[in-house]
Structure 1
Amino acid sequence: MNAMPPLGEPASEPVATAQPASDAGPPLASGAAEPSAPLSPTRETLHYALRNPKLLIGLAVVLVLLLTGLFGPLLLDGPDPNAYSGAQAVGPSGEHWFGTTTFGQDVFAQFVYGLRATFLVGVIGGGIAAVIAMLVGFFAGYRGGVLDEVLTMLTNIVLVIPSLAVLLIVNAYLGVRSVPVQGLFIGLTSWPWAARAIRAQTFSLRTRDFVDLARLSGSRTWKIIFREIAPNMSSYLFMTFILLFGGSILIASSLDFIGLGPTDSVSLGLMLQSAQQWSALQLGLWWWFVPPGVGITAVVGALYVANVGLDEVFNPKLRES
């Protein structure tokens, strides 16, 4: 047996005391990587964006169609998509990729020029509507009071007016119809719902601490709106523009289909209207109306799918699910 030390005398060897677990963790193995630092908000958003299939697929479809509309005319023989190609009502072939109409017009030539007009009217109409919606929504939501009541009343008036009926009347009595003019009138009539949504978001942000600090520092109203409030709504504003972009394309296609589209260019809606007018369905010329119909559906559908993907990227709750 081991001899015990006399009572009251210290042990010959000091006893080692255990260190708290919080003070000393387990040693790192040789070559082990240290825990990575948290990503910045921008890099974190990009990280999830590159891994969201809805966003990637939607943007890929839009990009392919956009490049087709921009560079497709370079593959054509001439600048006139309505020119006679030498063959009437022939199906798709190596010479005519999308076939020809009963008038001998190349459907592929009309399709690529129609894509260009479709994106142009979407940019113009959606851009104008987004600018008006942001101006009305920002100032109404931030200033409040009489200005808010006036702008809200104006928004409600435009909201209840049947915009499609107004566009029908304007286009019917307009002497020269073009894609920019069409986009202008679409933008002037499609902003109210976006303005109401932006107003609600601005109203919730105007009481935040960073806005109060900017107000106390003496910043002007427009500086507070565009330097403090707008950057915190950038993702929401971008998604709103996508919805306005797609909505402008649908409205323009509706006007084109009933014969109130541009008179100086070709669009996908006008292709559908021409195919319907000259009985392409009854004659079995499916290649005349299928490409423009698929093109409109693909552009608008891809935009909305990409918008859903952006919502999942910017919204942490949807991102985690």
Structure 2
Amino acid sequence: MNAMPPPGDPATEPAAVTEAAQQSPPLTPTRETLHYAVRNPKLLIGLAVVAVLLLTGLVGPLLLDDADPNAYSGPQAAPPDGEHWFGTTSFGQDVFGQFVHGLRATFLVGVIGGGIAAMIAMLVGFFAGYRGGWVDEVLTMFTNIVLVIPSLAVLLIVNAYLGVRSVPVQGLFIGLTSWPWAARAIRAQTFSLRTRDFVDLARLSGSRTWKIIFREIAPNMSSYLFMTFILLFGGSILIASSLDFIGLGPTDGVSLGLMLQSAQQWSALQLGLWWWFVPPGVGITAVVGALYVANVGLDEVFNPKLRES
């Protein structure tokens, strides 16, 4: 009689058990998000461009010999060379020095304007969507009023009458006028989450409104809120650049939009001084474009229906 194979012999184990043992354990939500994030080319390229430009704006001014970007430091209208990487303006100002200082101002106005707009949008959207009733009606009416007001016209009037304009003040007014569309979107998302079981459980346990909103609802919208901030960040930069280009930018500094305005005012295009207006134009396009590309990548990471792999 043939001897029975010993227990645990792979030949006697079911194929399903062997295959299950070879499979890797399921990924947690955080690890799954990171798994797709590091494999998304749009997100990686967008973040890389933003990181390079941000590092240039932070470190670049520290490496310059002259702290004043508007100082006269070389021959007039000189093309790029080893001493002046981006050439000089018609007044002998170093374009590279203005560019790195302008990048810093661009990111600063984006952070201030986008951050203020995001905070107002979250407060209005969360409380309107969760509380409903008369609270929702009042906040929605206020949002619609601000939404129909021509924000650019308001910014033009405010900036025109300000004696001294700075980047923080500019970011403040941009943030106070660019939040309504985000508030409406957050309200709609909150309205769909307030009837979920975990929210009902928190409500029955006696938690206060603000705790339910910021401990239960907001974490479940974290990816959406982050993408909303990116859009508000890029929008603030575009609005600030528009104000700068028409001469209503900061009066005590330099920005990429002011560089374009100065180049246009002193006929850089007609004189063939391409190195004066190309860097700030490319800088604005690169920052905003990279932010929107990264936002598309994040949407693909957080939305399983859009994932390619």
Asked whether the two chains share a fold, i.e. TM above 0.5, the reply is yes
Comparing 74-83 with 206-215, greater Cα deviation is found at: 74-83
Distance 2:61 2:177 in 1: 32
Distance 1:9 1:294 in 2: 67
Distance 1:245 1:12 in 2: 61
List per-residue Cα deviations over 1:189-220 (Å, max 9, x = no partner).
00000000000000000000000000000000
Distance apart, 1:35 and its partner CA: 1.3
Gaps of 5+ in 2: none
Comparing 84-93 with 294-303, greater Cα deviation is found at: 84-93
TM-aligned CA distance change 1:172 to 1:34, over 3 Å = same
Distance apart, 1:269 and its partner CA: 0.1
TM-aligned CA distance change 1:4 to 1:280, over 3 Å = closer
Question: Any conservation in 1 of the 2:74–2:88 contact (CA below 8 Å)?
Answer: no
Distance apart, 1:74 and its partner CA: 2.0
Gaps of 5+ in 1: 19-31
TM-aligned CA distance change 1:213 to 1:275, over 3 Å = same
Once the two structures are aligned, what percentage of the paired residues are identical? 91
Question: Any conservation in 1 of the 2:73–2:94 contact (CA below 8 Å)?
Answer: yes
- Secondary structure class of the residue paired with 1:245: helix
Distance apart, 1:34 and its partner CA: 2.3
List per-residue Cα deviations over 1:3-44 (Å, max 9, x = no partner).
9999999999999999xxxxxxxxxxxxx9721100100000
Question: Any conservation in 1 of the 2:86–2:275 contact (CA below 8 Å)?
Answer: yes
Distance 1:6 1:76 in 2: 77
TM-score normalised to structure 2 length: 0.93
TM-aligned CA distance change 1:92 to 1:143, over 3 Å = same
2:218 aligns with: 230
Distance apart, 1:78 and its partner CA: 1.3
Give the count of matched residue pairs.
Answer: 308
Distance 1:293 1:16 in 2: 60
**Structure 2 residue 239 is matched with structure 1 residue 251:** yes
List per-residue Cα deviations over 1:147-179 (Å, max 9, x = no partner).
100000000000000000000000000111000
Distance 2:164 2:10 in 1: 108
Distance apart, 1:230 and its partner CA: 0.1
Distance 2:292 2:42 in 1: 10
TM-aligned CA distance change 1:77 to 1:211, over 3 Å = same
TM-aligned CA distance change 1:40 to 1:80, over 3 Å = same
List per-residue Cα deviations over 1:90-111 (Å, max 9, x = no partner).
0000000000000000000000
TM-aligned CA distance change 1:100 to 1:39, over 3 Å = same
Distance 1:201 1:289 in 2: 42
* Runs of 4+, deviation exceeding 4 Å: 1-18
TM-aligned CA distance change 1:218 to 1:16, over 3 Å = closer
Distance 1:104 1:94 in 2: 15
Comparing 80-89 with 109-118, greater Cα deviation is found at: 80-89
Distance 1:66 1:84 in 2: 26
Distance 2:172 2:10 in 1: 95
Comparing 177-186 with 82-91, greater Cα deviation is found at: 82-91
Distance 1:100 1:136 in 2: 47
TM-aligned CA distance change 1:112 to 1:11, over 3 Å = closer
**Structure 2 residue 30 is matched with structure 1 residue 59:** no
Distance 1:310 1:270 in 2: 32
List per-residue Cα deviations over 1:209-256 (Å, max 9, x = no partner).
000000000000000000000000000000000000000000000000
Distance apart, 1:73 and its partner CA: 1.0
TM-aligned CA distance change 1:186 to 1:2, over 3 Å = closer
Distance 1:108 1:134 in 2: 38
Question: Any conservation in 1 of the 2:74–2:94 contact (CA below 8 Å)?
Answer: no
Question: Any conservation in 1 of the 2:89–2:95 contact (CA below 8 Å)?
Answer: yes
Distance 2:81 2:148 in 1: 49
Distance 1:8 1:103 in 2: 85
Distance 1:157 1:300 in 2: 28
TM-score normalised to structure 1 length: 0.90
List per-residue Cα deviations over 1:113-167 (Å, max 9, x = no partner).
0000000000000000000000000000000000100000000000000000000
Distance 1:183 1:308 in 2: 25
Root-mean-square deviation (CA, aligned residues, Å) is 6.1
